[in-house]
Copies of this chain bind each other. A is one copy, B any other.
Amino acid sequence: MKQVKTFSEYMNDEERVSPAEREKIKFEIELIGKMVEAREQKGLSQRELAELSGVKQPAIARLESMKTTPQIDTLFKVLNPLGYTISIVPINAKK
């Protein structure tokens, strides 16, 4: 008998994860994915991105390892040199 929930099952259990939390987690996964990919694709180290963005390297490391939830300002500073920004979309505009 199955006892352990998959990540997907866990995430969709509203008893444990509220819809808002779920969206936030999805966003963070999207963020880290695109951020790390774009940074490496541009051949930048965290220190170099720190230079370009004005966000210190420790903050970037904390961000990429999901140690903190970023501030909006920080988000824009880091994403800008990577060619990204953020936008508000209807919940069911899943891509």
- Please report which residues of chain A, range 26-85, place their CB below 8 angstroms from some CB of chain B when the two chains form the complex: 26-27, 30-31, 34, 53-54, 69-73, 75-77, 79-80, 83-85
**Bound: A54/B19 CA distance, A:** 12
Contacting pair A20 B76 (CB below 8 A): yes
Q: How far is the CA of A6 from the CA of B30 in the complex (A)?
A: 36
Interface size on A, residues (CB 8 A): 34
Instruction: Give the residue name and chain of the B residue nearest to A54 (CB).
Output: B20
Closest B-chain residue to A27, C-beta based? B86
Q: Contacts A23-B79, A27-B87 known; list 14 others, CB within 8 Å.
A: A20-B54, A20-B76, A24-B72, A26-B85, A27-B72, A30-B87, A31-B88, A69-B72, A84-B89, A85-B89, A86-B86, A86-B88, A87-B93, A87-B95
